[in-house]
Amino acid sequence: MSPRLTLLFCHEAFELFPVLTSALESADFHLVVAHNKQEAHTLLSDRMVDAVLICQSKPRLGKSVCASLKRRAPRTPILLFTNEDQSSEPYPGIYSVVRADAEDEDLTRAVAYFLRISLSSASAHRISALSPANRPGQSRGQTAAL
């Protein structure tokens, strides 16, 4: 089994998403909760997270939080989860936009497992890109001197 991934869950009303949070925990995510942008900044400065999931019904607020967090952690994938249809305009800095009913058990479970697989493979690619065999100027079998 792959290692447990940490997901920063950002929403001012965490308790309104019991189905979604249960699905994420079932997919073996460790959830760290931020109720506002300031809490999210504090949590990102204190720990490493594998991704940020912003749950906002108001697109402008979600975009604002995303832009702010992207400056804090530019390499961390940021996902926006919303129940509403929104315009198809681009979301700068957002890795993915999920438009789904957060109360639909089957759908949230599928989304959680899809995120788990996607983020696990993204983590594996980041790790393999940093391995000694993939560093420039080194051939296989050689390691860098420390």
Burial of 122 (0-12, 13-18, 19+ CB in 10 A): middle
Query: 27-62, pLDDT tens digit by residue?
Result: 999 999 998 888 998 998 888 899 999 887 665 666
Q: Is the residue at 141 inside a domain?
A: no
Residue 37 located in a structural domain: yes
- pTM for the structure as a whole: 0.73
Residue 56 falls within a domain, yes or no? yes
* Inside any domain, residue 144: no
100-125 per-position pLDDT tens digit? 888 899 999 998 998 899 888 765 54
Number of domains in the chain: 1
Let me know if residue 58 belongs to a domain.
yes
CATH of the domain at 125: 3.40.50.2300
* 88 is a domain residue: yes
Between the two ends of the chain, the Cα-to-Cα distance in Å is: 31
Tell me, yes or no, whether 142 lies in a domain: no
Domain extent for 97: 5-134
**In contact, 58 and 47? CB cutoff 8 Å:** no
Let me know if residue 140 belongs to a domain. no
